[in-house]
A = this chain, B = another copy of it.
Amino acid sequence: MSTARTPFTLAPVSGVRSETVRSANLATILRELHFHGPASRSELVARTGLTRSAIGALVGELVKADLVSEQRAASDGSPGRPSPVAAPIPERNVTLAVDVAVDSLGVAAVGLGGVVLRSERIDRPRERVAVDATIDDIVAMVGRIEAALDPGVRVLGIGVGVVGLVNRTDNSVSIAPNLGWHDVAFGDRLQRALGRKVDVVVSNDADLAALAEVRRGVATGAREVLYVWGEVGVGGGLISRGEPITGAAGFAGEVGHVPVNPDGRPCRCGSTGCWETEIGEGALLERSGRSPDGGRDAVDALLADADAGVPAALDALAVEARWLGIGLAGLVNVMNPSMVVLGGLLGRVFPYVHDEVLAEIDRRALASARRGVVVVSSALAGDAPMLGAAELAFEPVLADPLGTLRKISTRR
């Protein structure tokens, strides 16, 4: 019947039925509780615009599904019948978050509402970074974490952050130079190793850190955010309209490989003059007269020198500031964010070079795009990718609570 048409659909072509309404309203309430914490029914009425009866029925359904509990409000002194407070139940609804970093491995159980219930992080030597060893370690850690959780707990999803380029369409790792991984179907393999039917979603760790900052960090509530994370390599996450920009296959946000100095030094990606070659840990250390692979200890020493006013350290930081500003200016012109968040090494360095970075941005970014941009260091330290992974794993439940629960329970 259908004459061949564009396989693409411009608008989300899908009819809406009554049950869609229910699902959307349940999702709205659960999101509200997950992101803004416990709220009384009357607060929910005010925030959603729904009526008392509708809220009553909706919250009732969430309670019945064991996602939410209702308790009498602590009297706050105002007149009128007290409104029961609805709160997410973290102990019974968790996601497992995994962070595959360069030299460590983290696993956490995060409860609905964003509470970290248990977490564990292990350093790992070079010989444990292979895919199989990583999966074995994760399985062991997950086992320990789960053993410590409440018996009635449900795992709603598993989110994984990996230092590398992740294909979001199939949860595979395309390439992770720091791990030596290449085209690994990591999501599928981990899911099989865990023996679960719960979905495993994999994403780039910088993207997840950005998500975490927007959900629960310094950028909470901001809708247009540029997150740049730098250590040895430099990555980033872009948030637009409050949601991550993934790009066609999930590779968006690789800001570390924007050419800022096309005749500069070679980058391990094969190009030359990538931003990463100018602001990465190696460049910073080298400029201060240190070995480029001195690691975290060398950075600590450098910053201590800067505190002490050692000229070599200050000079190195000044150059770092210039290149940091140059790259940020370009990205500000491209994205017009309301906030720029710097994580990792960059977040540590930024307080030392605050003025110089902003000056460089002023010099190079268009006044209109630059106006109102706030630049800050990350607030979430090293756990940001893990928190982001948990949020990613919560997403299906938040989008369609009862439908997702049904799917999980039937599949197990």
Contact = CB atoms under 8 A, between A and B. Distances in A.
Contacts of A49: 14-15
Interface in A337-369: 337-338, 363-369
Interface string A362-382: 011111110111000000000
Interface stretch (A39-47, A88-96, A148-156, A288-296): A39-47
A248 B220 contact: no
A5 interface: yes
Nearest to A330: B258
Interface string A249-272: 111111101111110000001110
Nearest to A224: B248
Contacts of A260: 259-260, 262, 330
Contacts of A337: 247-248
Interface string A28-46: 1001100110000011001
A28 B3 contact: no
Interface string A1-35: 11111111111111111101101110110011001
Given A14-B4, A254-B334, A247 B224 contact: yes
B363 A270 contact: yes
17 contacts: A6-B36, A6-B220, A8-B223, A8-B243, A15-B48, A18-B18, A21-B21, A175-B367, A240-B245, A245-B335, A247-B335, A252-B334, A255-B333, A258-B258, A258-B330, A258-B334, A259-B327
A188 interface: no
Contacts of A6: 12, 36, 220-221, 399
Interface in A267-312: 269-271, 274
Given A13-B48, A220-B8, A331 B329 contact: no
A108 interface: no
Contact of A50 (B15, B175, B367, B368): B15
